[in-house]
Structure 1
Amino acid sequence: MQTKQRSKYKKIIIGIVSILGILFVGSWLVLQTKMHQPSIQAQRVSESAKEEKHYTFYSGGNKESIGLIFYPGGLVDPASYSLWAQQVAQAGYDVYVVHFPLNLAVLAPNRAEEIQAAHPQKRFVLAGHSLGGVMASRYLVSNADAIEGMVFLASYPDQKGALNTLEVPVLSITGTNDGVLNAEAYESAKQYLPSDTRYEVIKGGNHAGFGSYGKQKGDHQATISNDEQQAAIRQQLIQWLEQFD
């Protein structure tokens, strides 16, 4: 009798595990269809950078300059940001584009600390696109003594990532044709930013244009080319980073 019961329970457990496995695989496959893949150009540029376990490194060649740790937007492949990352690195600033599980920063929000631990003598600022910016600002709040600034690309902090009580330089860049960024939430979130936050707007730029991965659901059509938006991002980032030299 006990043997039959054990066999019955074993079958139930196997059945439950099988169902969970199917659900996991199914969810993973759905997420894969929603992933934003880099353009061919962005993929090629990323391949010229150094791939580490949890980030892609674009070397600026200057050990004394400040480094930029970047959190990608949700479901966006890290290689999608290679164009402006390489351009910023060519200006002398190391750029570290972080990799996250399923390309979601919310699943490993403290991954920046791995980069800091590997480069203990380096000074850093954080940056993030969309959801990546939200999670990066939360990390900054918890590590305010170790991070010297924050950049939001089509993004903003929530209450957990409020920076208004910290003395850190902040740069916020948006695009006039962004159809994904919640304009009302963006304006409301300004209460969580320092009063001297620098706001820049890319005329004709859209949400997906902060990377190079094609169209994004809900976004508006950009009226400038992706190369033009990448150049604008590069210029504004470099100008802002110069204050740390």
Structure 2
Amino acid sequence: MTDEEGGKRILQYRRIAQRPWGAQLWEDVQLLSPLTWRGAASIGKVQWEWKKLLQSAAALVLLIPLAFKRENSMPQILPRYSVISLSSIWSVAWLWRGTTGIRTVWHKTFTFSRWSEMLGLPSTRSVAEEDAWRVLSERITQQRAYRTRRYDVYLPPLLTGRALEAIMFLPGFGVEHVAYAESAARLADAGWVVVVVSAEPLRIASKGLGFASSRIRDIPYLVCKELNVPLSWSVIGHSLGSFTATHVSLELDIPRVVLWGSAPMDDLIADLSNLNKRVLVLQGSEDKVIQFMVPDEQVRQQQTDNFYRKLPTNTITKMIEGGTHKGFGSYTPAFSIEKSSGIPRSEQQFQAVALTVDFLRNV
């Protein structure tokens, strides 16, 4: 199979799985939102240097409007609105802070080779692979999924008038939310309504960064209204989205929280320690991203301890042997940090879904 053939298939899948008219324009307009840029600029006020990398990473997304192509992915081209938005007062202030972040990260956090590797990338956006688009298009054809501007919904085999369980899924940093289609479909097959939320325009699922809590507060209401059934909610987050999941659980009073591939960044996670919530943490034994973000083992252990202090004492942690950071989704990572492939992606996602389903059914 050639890249060209794979690209043609993805085009076919994308035609079937088109979002409503105006979705792309809506995302572009969000780039000019004061809320988006205020959140992005606020990264410069934090202590942990790795977060400033997010400034530089998002800057690359905006500054390099070039078409590129990766294996098993579609050519990506950034809209001109992204470049126009650089003239906004929010982006100018944000990019000014970003230059400081670049210098700090260069000298204190990353080796030259790692930084050079990241600078050589045309974009920090991780695009969904063919398998994810295929599953989404199949579910839409089967009327088991539908798309909106702000989220994709995967439906269980039977929709009745009785109350149903629902999951809100928050994507990782830079990851196209379609990349979680396979896991979402499996969770839907197990009986859940699964809502995979788009983190556009910056694809940073964190408070104020193009994905503010105010933008998702009404999603449970909207989905209940669309399906005309009452829903009981849980929340899942992958990578950076796992931190957002803890805040969403507070914001929307969601009692069940599942964290996939969550780095031990104790200052990002919401404090759930004294609340009546049930939490599951899933990690991959071959997750190199966590080590990359906190390279010092002693610091990493200290942050891990602080991380768990903010979770309930009955938190359950499960390890997927051979699992990687990227294996929780179906996407081509922008940063090739993980050299080993670990177990097959389908196997990791199967285990992740099975452990998640078992947890949600028994809490």
The residue number in structure 1 matching 2:288 is 179
Larger radius of gyration: 1
SS at match of 1:190: helix
- CA distance in 2: counterparts of 1:20 and 1:234, whole angstroms: 43
The separation in 2 between residues aligned to 1:72 and 1:126, in whole angstroms, is: 11
2:123 to 27, 33, 38: 33
The answer on whether the counterparts of 2:168 and 2:197 sit within 8 Å (CA) in structure 1 is yes
- Any idea what SS the aligned residue of 1:167 has? coil
Q: Deviations over 1:69-101 (max 9, x none)?
A: 011001000011111110110011111000122
Moved over 6 A (4+): none
* Aligned match for 2:146, one of 50, 72, 77: 50
**1:232 corresponds to which letter in structure 2?**
Q
Q: RMSD of aligned C-alpha atoms?
A: 2.7
- Match for 1:113: what amino acid? R
CA distance in 1, matches of 2:238, 2:190: 21
Q: What is the TM-score when the length of structure 2 is the normalising length?
A: 0.56
> What residue is the counterpart of 2:277 in the other structure?
168
**Structure 1 stretch displaced more, 152-161 or 199-208:** 152-161
Question: What amino acid does structure 2 have at the position aligned with 1:98?
Answer: V
Asked if 1:93 is matched to 2:185, the reply is no
Match of 2:258 among 151, 156, 165: 151
The alignment of Structure 1 onto Structure 2 pairs a total of residues equal to 222
Deviations 1:100-124 (Å, cap 9, x if unpaired)? 2221222223243222121273110
Q: State which drifts further: 182-191 or 192-201.
A: 182-191
CA distance in 2, matches of 1:237, 1:55: 21
Query: Shift of residue 154 of structure 1?
Result: 0.8
Structure 1 residues 187 and 211, CA, compared in 2 at 3 Å: closer, same or farther? farther
> Unaligned regions of 5+ residues in structure 1, if any?
1-16
2:336 alignment counterpart: 217
Return the match for 2:232 from 115, 119, 123. 123
Q: Is the 8 A contact 1:177 1:220 kept in 2?
A: no
User: How many angstroms does 1:220 deviate by?
Assistant: 4.6
Question: Structure 2 unaligned runs (5+)?
Answer: 1-83, 96-118, 140-144, 295-299
Letter in 2 for 1:104: I
Question: Which residue of structure 1 aligns with residue 211 of structure 2?
Answer: 108
- Structure 1 CA distance, aligned partners of 2:136 and 2:265? 28
The alpha-carbon deviation at position 187 of structure 1 amounts to: 3.9
Is 1:206–1:220's contact at 8 Å kept on the other side of the alignment? no
CA distance in 2: counterparts of 1:214 and 1:153, whole angstroms: 18
Contact (CA 8 Å) 2:153, 2:195: kept in 1 or not?
yes
After TM superposition, give the deviation of residue 157 of structure 1 in Å: 6.8
